[in-house]
Amino acid sequence: MAEENYEAIVIGSGFGGSIAAYRLAQKGIKTLILERGKWWPITEKQDTFCTYREPDGRAAWLNDKTVLFEPKPIDRYVGLLEQHIEDGITVWCAAGVGGGSLVYNTVLYQPSRANWDRVFPAEMSYDEMDAVYYPRVREIIEPSPIPGDILESDYYLSTRAMAEQAAFAGLKVKRASLGSNWDVVRQELKGDKKPSAIAGEIWYGINSGVKRSLDHNYLALAQETGHVTILALHQVTEIAEDGQNGYRVTCERIDEHGEVQEVRTFATGSLFMAAGSMGTSKMLVRAKATGKLPKLNDYVGQFWGNNGDTFATRKVSMRTNGGQGGPASIIIEHHDNPILPQALIVFPEWDAPEGTLTTLGMTLPADLGSFHYDPDTDQARLTFRLDSPGNLKMLEAVNLTYALLDENNPYEMPVEGSLNFSGHYFCPINGFPEPGTQSTAHDKTQAGAGVTAHPCGGVVLGKACDLYGRVLGYQGLYVVDGALIPGCTAVTNPALTIAAIAERCMEDIVAKDFG
């Protein structure tokens, strides 16, 4: 097998990977991105992605059924959403050129100073993040809040309903900063484009091109430099120390059905891990356990959290629109929740019953999980205990916020026993429910936390890495993605903070290690 050499190799093309590649390329460094997923270019015909209403193989990563909503049989394909069924929790991740930006709700939410200080090492100054790195990301992705004319349209009824509910309960509401192109939403509203965002089609991609996904900004800028090669459908299977060259990266070139076409190896002196919290953590834990990177420290694989995510579907007994327009456009902050600070986001759930609102809650997880190598499967596996006393507080806290909303809801409540229910794909604790056990009636809103789309940690700043993502024990090995985050991004959705921290890391790494 002939080895190809690159000055730098980046594994993964999501937030961390695309920022690393762009900043390396700006410095003139010949960089290779290896990405397991495919490109998803937006077409004139608006048929890039499948839809919630008619899912197909494009919905899921090499799976024979969909992973959202009620499972439906699909063809195995290199689709967008990968499901990791772990010990105690199920985790959703993205696959494709652009990573999570292809599937995300486009919420780019900066934490408050107080919450930041509760999560991140004291040496990482909020002032610096606020003044330099968050703005640096926003300058490139250009997020903005939902404009009034769009929010007032019929399609955003549920968003307005949630804002009204929050106001009744005296909770703070703000418009989220979204990486969405609102002019394209207006084209949908005018009928110039087929309904996509306004029909609440978000997680399988938005066919009209509303999302400012990374292939349109950071990755496009990286390619414009002429120094970056992106190899899609290249799944890294192993990383190892390579005496002479630094690191050897082995990957499989796959076709669109996941069949291996070729095994390729690459060598580099500078390896950037950006396969996401799950991908990066699992690869490094396995490399340590199998003697490929034996000098990694014992913090590798530790301090993983679900970002404090919970989900609930509330029955609000007012007119709503489950297939509401999206992406999720408002945030409710209950930072003075006496148990744990909360943020809630209402998001489109296309088949939710009339009169309900589905929300994601985010807080601070207490008892973090860890990855362990399993020699029987030759893979690393995550253990996370949602039912530990510390983590049960996440549910107590968010249920307290929901109780506040329920108690202050002035609309006539339906009969007891059917007042609220947990959404059909969110179970209370301990993993993913079997189909058929997914809808549970409750007499008050009860959040579930069996699944997260916001994995954080595993190779954490200041523990397994220095405060700039340099992996301890190895020169030229870096982590620049969600694996760096200590369990959560301080009561926010994680992408903006992952991106801002990647910018901070790359500024230091490029200046000092490539000086």
Ligand X SMILES: Cc1cc2nc3c(=O)[nH]c(=O)nc-3n(C[C@H](O)[C@H](O)[C@H](O)COP(=O)(O)OP(=O)(O)OC[C@H]3O[C@@H](n4cnc5c(N)ncnc54)[C@H](O)[C@@H]3O)c2cc1C
By C-beta, is 369 or 482 nearer to ligand X? 482
**Touching ligand X, residues 199-218 (CB under 6 A):** 203
Residue 333 or 406 with smaller CB distance to ligand X: 333
Does 104 bind ligand X (CB under 6 A)? Our answer is yes
DSSP state of 439: -
Q: Does residue 16 interact with ligand X by CB under 6 A?
A: yes
Q: Does 105 bind ligand X (CB under 6 A)?
A: yes
Phi-psi region of 361 (alpha: psi -120 to 50; beta: other; left: phi over 0): beta
Task: Give CA angle at 166 (179, 409), nearest 5°.
Answer: 140
Least Å from the CB of residue 39 to ligand X: 11
Among 71, 79, 269, 276, contact with ligand X (rule: CB under 6 A): 276
Nearer to ligand X, 379 or 439 (CB): 379
481 binds ligand X (CB under 6 A): yes
- Residue 206's nearest CA partner among 194, 216, 193, 197 is 197
- In the complex with ligand X, the residue whose CB is nearer, 14 or 348, is 14
- Supply the minimum distance, in Å, between the C-beta of residue 205 and ligand X: 10
Q: What b/e readout covers 464-502, taking b as 16+ CB neighbours within 10 angstroms?
A: bbebbbbbbebebbbbbbbbbbbbbbbbbbbbbbbbbbb
DSSP string, 176-245: PPB-B-HHHHHHHHHTSS-SSTTTT--TT--TT--B--GGGTHHHHHHHTT-EEEESSEEEEEEEEETTT
Give whichever of 12 and 71 is closer to ligand X, judged by the CB atom.
Answer: 12
Q: Is 281 in the site for ligand X (CB under 6 A)?
A: no
Tell me how far CA of residue 96 lies from CA of 80, 176, 246, 298, in angstroms: 6, 25, 27, 31
Whether the CB-CB separation of 159 and 325 falls below 8 Å is answered with yes
Q: Between 315 and 448, name the residue whose CB sits nearer to ligand X.
A: 448
Q: Which stretch binds ligand X (CB under 6 A): 2-10, 414-422, 436-444, 488-496?
A: 488-496
d(CA 78, CA 81): 9
Both tokens of residue 506?
């790359």
Task: Provide the pairing of β-strand 342-346 with 356-362.
Answer: antiparallel
Within 293-322, the residues that bind ligand X by CB under 6 A are: none
**Given the complex with ligand X, which of 349 and 406 has the nearer CB atom?**
349
The nearest distance, CB 245 to ligand X, in angstroms, is 19
- Rounded Cα–Cα distance for residues 308 and 330 (Å): 19
The reply to whether 107 sits near ligand X by the rule CB under 6 A is yes
Neighbours of 21 (CB within 10 A): 34
Q: Does 498 bind ligand X (CB under 6 A)?
A: yes
| Residue with smaller CB distance to ligand X, 11 or 500 | 11
Among 103, 163, 273, 300, binds ligand X (CB under 6 A): 103
Tokens of 490: 């301080």
By CB under 6 A, is residue 391 in contact with ligand X? no
505 binds ligand X (CB under 6 A): no
Task: Give the span between the Cα atoms of 267 and 225, in whole angstroms.
Answer: 22
Q: Which stretch binds ligand X (CB under 6 A): 13-21, 113-121, 136-144, 443-451?
A: 13-21
Contacting residue, 92, 116, 126, 266, with ligand X by CB under 6 A = 92
Alpha-carbon distance 101 to 203, whole Å? 10
Pick the binder of ligand X from 134, 285, 493, 504 (CB under 6 A). 493
Smallest gap from Cβ 235 to ligand X, in A, equals 5
Q: Which of residues 255-274 bind ligand X (CB under 6 A)?
A: 274
CB atoms within 10 A of CB 306: 30
Contact with ligand X (CB under 6 A) among 79, 100, 323, 348: 100
Query: Is 51 an interacting residue with respect to ligand X (CB under 6 A)?
Result: no
Give the nearer residue to ligand X in terms of CB position, either 39 or 168.
39
Output 315 or 470, the one with its CB closest to ligand X: 470
How far is it, in rounded angstroms, from Cα 426 to Cα 428?
A: 7
Q: 303: helix, coil or strand?
A: strand
HEC-encoded secondary structure of 52-110: CCCCCHHHEECCCECCCCCCCECCCCECCEEEEECECCEEEEECCCCHHHHCCCCECCC
Binder to ligand X among 34, 59, 293, 397 (CB under 6 A)? Answer: 34
User: Does residue 31 interact with ligand X by CB under 6 A?
Assistant: no
Task: Using CB under 6 A, list all residues that contact ligand X.
Answer: 11-17, 34-37, 92-96, 99-100, 103-107, 203, 235-236, 274-277, 279, 453-454, 481-482, 493-496, 498
